[in-house]
Structure 1
Amino acid sequence: MAQYRVKLSGYPLPGHTTESIAEALKQQMGLGPAQVRALLPPAKRVVKAGLDAQEAERWHQALTRAGLAASKEAQAAPAAAPAKPGDPLESLRSCLAQGFSRRRPSPLYSMHLSVVTICCVLMPLLYLALVTGLGYALYWYLGHAHLLIGRRVHGIWPLLLVYGVPGVSGGILLLFLARPILAGGSGRDRSLTLDPADEPRLTEAIQVLTGAIGIRPPVALKMSNQVNASVHFEGGWPGFFSGRKVLTIGLPLVAGLTSQQFLGVLAHEFGHFAQRFGMRCSFLVNHVNAWLDVRAHQPDPWDERLQRWAEESGDTVIRIVVFITQLGIRASRMLLHGLFLLSFRLSRSLSRQMEFDADRYEVMLAGSENFRETALRLRALSQAFGEIDEQNARTWREHKLLRNIPQAAAAHVATFDTQAWAKLKRSLGYGTTRYWDTHPADLERIRSAQDLQAAGLFHDDRPATTLFEHFAEHCENATRAYYRQLGVDYQTAELCDSQTVTSIHSQRTTAVDDLRRWSGRQWRSLPWLPLQLALPDAQAQLSWQACIDELRQDSPAIARDWEAAEQENKRRMRLAFSGTLDRHDIPSHLNRVEAFDEERHLPEYQRIAEWKTPARQSLIRVAGLYRRRIEHTLGRERLVAELVFALSPLYNDIECLQEAWFVASRFPDSRDPAQHAWLSRFRHDADVACQDYAMHLLRKCDGIPQTLLEGGSVGGYLRKRCPRLDHSSASPREFAGSAGLLLDGLNYAYQAALAELAQRCAEVERSRGITGIDG
């Protein structure tokens, strides 16, 4: 009888949202929260398999009614994946037919493993014993306090002092100390699940590899956008007891490695599980270390709650209780920190030894010489991923994002020149293994691999992507999941290929480099030059070359003044925040040693805001020289059409918005009890001011047309960059969070416009034989 499976496409049906789908799955299908999360978009997985036609249709209709796009597919009988031309499967099957040679761990290693694990597991038990002891001590004290002072206690204040303060503060402290024991674990895994039926060759390669090593294959395959691969127990503790494993594959590895290198990396990951006892010990040790680290160093809502009680209450007794409790909490964190360091230090050498043992499986499969090449390739992919990610972030300012990050990272490696590869090769020889390191240094691992002198069982230089049927689709899904994890609000139309993103980034980078050369390395992003100001008579008479010669002659002083003016911009924001507090009689400091003084600092603030400082006065003169230089290049009558000259008058408004945004963002960080009573009102006033400045500036930008960026106008570009600016229902607090994007977008637009102008000016100057600032 024919069998069918029901599979999710990963997308909601039109008119349905994630929330409505989740509610429908709960109400109509009676699924639990964990089951609902597993089915929500972008989950692309087989929901049920091995169904007859009637059952498959029933599941398909149920999922469709809930709002999920699903398909019903005929299910073929399971069979071994056939080897195809260019597929490394056939050689992998033949070379691993005899399996790997197994090596039992030495008794000394097993003893070391057991001792380290027992010691690490004792850390939380020691902490539990401490909490229990403190609880008993508090109980004993409350029952025997009258015996300690020799008489019964009478009167409200003596009762509070002897029983109330110790009892309440001790009870709160015990609750705080018990929280680490009762608190839950980390958040859910954000990687994407891969349906093994979609990738039969990869699935068989994994089965062949795990069979040769002597372990069970993973029960699930996941994909990530990271330059890494890992195998871990399924679901944490349930997998620890059942032995069920999950393999997570970083798709940039597949895109950038050969089949030999990629399967070698997988052999390393599966090699960890060849030591069943060792892997369980490692799981226990890592969980203990993570638990101690989080509890010792992660902020806790109770800290803020206690601080708020102390700030809002005028009762002396409550403040004493909170103070004593905070001392106890601080002491408990110090204890946890000490236990973490001790446990971490005990376990690091064990972790490194396990890495060497896992490396042996990689070396046996792919060979000693290939191990070094793989290590080098992994470094190259990591560097390429970082550079591509940075390019992607910059081009997002123009609403363009990579559709496929893994393949873009691999393609970027191909652009590395000889010098870049030489630098990467030298980096393999840098660094030594320190006592705290979880992994040995690459150089030590390479030497260990070479000492094995293994020729390798599997040799195949074909790309690792030949093991996949739908690799590009997986990469795009992983890329979208990466954007969702970062909170990037993108549209599908904004995703483009790597050539487009690289071209935009290259054009902007080249333009900025040309701007720096044209300005003789004087240019800084802030503050903007006031190019809109009329020229004084002396500058209006300067010839083209004389104007440039003066800029060249004063270049060192101009660079210093521009840097000083940039620091004044930051100083202005700190002065504004301190001045706001001072107006409400709240003392504040500009820094650790300088207290705010209105008589001294208010005039300083006004000089900066009115461009009356020596550095800003110098920039006004410099702006005149650059304006005169541009007039000679383009003609005075054409300046009105230049975007830079339309943006320059906005700079005073921009500094006002910067100031308002800085003030609004500083209030949540305040911890001074004297400020807290006013904090809510101050914060709201700052948010409203920030919103008013932003909308005023945005309306001005709507009237500035431009074709350099998307949007048709500067305001249109900014609204595309931050769609929340158009949400009139947004609260001032929510709107203030978008002000940073507005400022960044304006600076980017100004930089792009000035860089494009500098390119045209430099070309005209070269054609006219004018010597630039660089000579």
Structure 2
Amino acid sequence: MNEAVQETVQSCPQCGDTIRSDARFTTWCTGCDWNVDPAAPAEAQGRVERVRRALARRHGERLVAELTTGGGGQAPPRRGAAGAVALALALVVHAVTALLTLGGLWLLVTGWGHPGRLLGAVALLALAWTLRPRFGSLPDDWPVLRRAAAPVLFAWVDEVAAVAGTRGVDAVVLDTDLNASVTTYGVRGRRVLTIGLPLWEMLGPQERVALLGHELGHFSNGDTRHGMVLGQAFRSLGTWHYYVARTPHPTPLEAVVNLLTLVPRLLVAGMILLLDRLTLRATQRAEYLADSTAARAGSTDAAIRLMDSLLVVPSAEGMLRREANSRQVKGRGSDPEGLWGRLAAHVGSVPGREYERLRRAAVRRGHSVDSTHPPTHLRRDVLRAGAPREAAVPVDAERHRAVADELAAARAELARRLLRDGLGE
């Protein structure tokens, strides 16, 4: 049963129009947009992040115009000159890590009897270790499904992967995030799909197909930042940026350190911004291409409904936190058995005016939240601008029930864990 509507009526303090709203959600005026975005994000901290978001905004506006007028989102672009330069810069970043490793080993081999050299060897090798490539591994604290345990789910994933023009995954991880992602693990680059069960439970069958299509689309659409070379280079540069970051309100000694690290700080910041400039367009295009795959697999309507569901993720998070807090404070109520049904009921009770408010707020925010993902409202607009697509992977009731059966144990476990531990930050 859906949550009860709590209707309120008041006058807009800005334009005087009558506002009829649901007390569970933000009160705002459709006429003048009063209070349309009371939780506007704070300004990006740091010069590098502010520049990154400004670049994202400029690239994003141009890309949307191209995709909505010229059909440019249908095929992954070739690497091109920008991609080649970005790859070369990434190799330079990795070469620095390799040189630190070789230098540390040389000092270690030649430094016996020389404490200064041994100390230098330890310092270089420790630094190189923090900058090393990470190949990843499967988590040991979340349910992990293999083909033998979930054949219907994996067949479903394989079918969506075929639409995306790629292969399926080797493992599926289930956690309590309201998100989903794909990545690789191990030296052999095995594929893993991570599904946040709360997000999965918010969606209908075809929206789930669209979600799978979007994530698997990242494997086939030239998303360079998810690649090993560039992805690891960004991670290494982030580590460097942390090491040489300026200390605010420094003591005299910290002021000296700030001065000594000025040049490397500028070099690192410049490298990050340059790689951003070279890859932002391809990265944002990759998101739109993944959305196109979502539409092909699940239908355009399902992909748009998925976009709308992403808008109400904060509301779903709030509901789950209230459930967990009630369980922890009272020690009763909020039974795990019905958690996912209550979540679906909450999402189903979100009124249309709340979706409209969130879309208007997203327009105001633009790229202020994330410098790599296009804003949800723009992704939605691009989907609506394209030719409507029917589902290439329709889901019948029998398959839907079979997948639910395969996930039953994980659903019960994660419901208990979420109510016990709450949502992570």
> CA–CA distance in 2 between the matches of 1:481 and 1:407?
16
Total equivalences in the alignment: 334
Partner residue, 1:208: 159
Matches within 5 A, 1:204-603: 204-235=155-186, 237-239=187-189, 244-275=190-221, 278=223, 282-297=227-242, 336=268, 339-400=271-332, 403=336, 405-433=339-367, 437-458=371-392, 466=401, 467-480=403-416
How much does 1:193 deviate?
A: 0.9
Matches within 5 A, 1:145-224: 174=124, 177-181=127-131, 189=139, 190-224=141-175
> CA–CA distance in 1 between the matches of 2:371 and 2:344?
28
How much does 1:396 deviate?
A: 0.7
- Indicate conservation of the 8 Å contact 1:213/1:274, yes or no: yes
1:589-644 deviations in whole A, cap 9, x for unaligned?
xxxxxxxxxxxxxxxxxxxxxxxxxxxxxxxxxxxxxxxxxxxxxxxxxxxxxxxx
Task: Specify the code of the residue in structure 1 equivalent to 2:350.
Answer: F
> CA–CA distance in 2 between the matches of 1:172 and 1:279?
34
Change (3 A) 1:268 1:463: farther
> CA–CA distance in 2 between the matches of 1:280 and 1:340?
13
1:117-167 deviations in whole A, cap 9, x for unaligned?
332332232465588789999xxxx9xxxxxxxxxxxxxxxxxxxx99x87
- Indicate conservation of the 8 Å contact 1:113/1:278, yes or no: no
> CA–CA distance in 1 between the matches of 2:293 and 2:351?
32
> CA–CA distance in 2 between the matches of 1:298 and 1:465?
49
- Indicate conservation of the 8 Å contact 2:225/2:231, yes or no: no
How much does 1:339 deviate?
A: 3.9
1:711-736 deviations in whole A, cap 9, x for unaligned?
xxxxxxxxxxxxxxxxxxxxxxxxxx
How much does 1:440 deviate?
A: 0.9
- Indicate conservation of the 8 Å contact 1:349/1:435, yes or no: no
> CA–CA distance in 1 between the matches of 2:258 and 2:105?
17
Change (3 A) 1:372 1:428: farther
Partner residue, 1:91: none
Structure (1/2) with the larger helix percentage: 1
**Larger displacement relative to structure 2 (466-475 or 283-292):** 466-475
> CA–CA distance in 2 between the matches of 1:282 and 1:434?
25
Please point out which of 98, 101, 121 is paired with 2:91.
Answer: 121
> CA–CA distance in 2 between the matches of 1:331 and 1:362?
45
How much does 1:441 deviate?
A: 1.2
How much does 1:431 deviate?
A: 2.7
Give the secondary-structure state (helix, strand or coil) at the position aligned to 2:411.
helix
TM-score by length of 2: 0.63
User: Which gives a bigger RCO, structure 1 or 2 (Cα 8 Å, sep 6+)?
Assistant: 2
How much does 1:355 deviate?
A: 0.9
TM-score by length of 1: 0.37
Task: Specify the code of the residue in structure 2 equivalent to 1:218.
Answer: V
> CA–CA distance in 1 between the matches of 2:314 and 2:260?
44
1:174-208 deviations in whole A, cap 9, x for unaligned?
45544434597778624311243444432322222
How much does 1:368 deviate?
A: 3.2
Give the secondary-structure state (helix, strand or coil) at the position aligned to 1:429.
helix
- Indicate conservation of the 8 Å contact 1:210/1:217, yes or no: yes
Task: Specify the code of the residue in structure 1 equivalent to 2:84.
Answer: S
Partner residue, 2:31: none
Task: Specify the code of the residue in structure 2 equivalent to 1:362.
Answer: A
CA RMSD of aligned residues (A): 4.5
Matches within 5 A, 1:574-653: none
Answer with 1 or 2: which has the greater Rg.
1
Task: Specify the code of the residue in structure 1 equivalent to 2:317.
Answer: F
> CA–CA distance in 2 between the matches of 1:397 and 1:348?
45
Give the secondary-structure state (helix, strand or coil) at the position aligned to 2:390.
coil
Task: Specify the code of the residue in structure 2 equivalent to 1:358.
Answer: A
- Indicate conservation of the 8 Å contact 1:113/1:281, yes or no: no
- Indicate conservation of the 8 Å contact 2:76/2:289, yes or no: no
Task: Specify the code of the residue in structure 1 equivalent to 2:331.
Answer: H
1:276-302 deviations in whole A, cap 9, x for unaligned?
x65686332222212322343279xxx
- Indicate conservation of the 8 Å contact 2:135/2:185, yes or no: no
1:515-563 deviations in whole A, cap 9, x for unaligned?
xxxxxxxxxxxxxxxxxxxxxxxxxxxxxxxxxxxxxxxxxxxxxxxxx
Change (3 A) 1:411 1:465: farther
Structure 2: runs of 5+ lacking an equivalent: 1-72, 245-252
> CA–CA distance in 2 between the matches of 1:283 and 1:402?
43
Partner residue, 2:61: none
> CA–CA distance in 1 between the matches of 2:164 and 2:174?
23
How much does 1:263 deviate?
A: 0.2
Identity %: 21
Task: Specify the code of the residue in structure 2 equivalent to 1:292.
Answer: L
> CA–CA distance in 2 between the matches of 1:357 and 1:382?
25
1:396-433 deviations in whole A, cap 9, x for unaligned?
12224652654442232133345434433434534323
Partner residue, 1:304: none
Give the secondary-structure state (helix, strand or coil) at the position aligned to 1:196.
coil
> CA–CA distance in 1 between the matches of 2:223 and 2:135?
23
> CA–CA distance in 1 between the matches of 2:135 and 2:359?
40
Change (3 A) 1:291 1:402: farther
How much does 1:269 deviate?
A: 1.2
Change (3 A) 1:219 1:476: same
How much does 1:372 deviate?
A: 2.5
> CA–CA distance in 2 between the matches of 1:218 and 1:482?
26
Change (3 A) 1:345 1:263: same
Give the secondary-structure state (helix, strand or coil) at the position aligned to 1:273.
coil
Change (3 A) 1:430 1:188: same
Give the secondary-structure state (helix, strand or coil) at the position aligned to 1:478.
helix
- Indicate conservation of the 8 Å contact 2:241/2:265, yes or no: yes
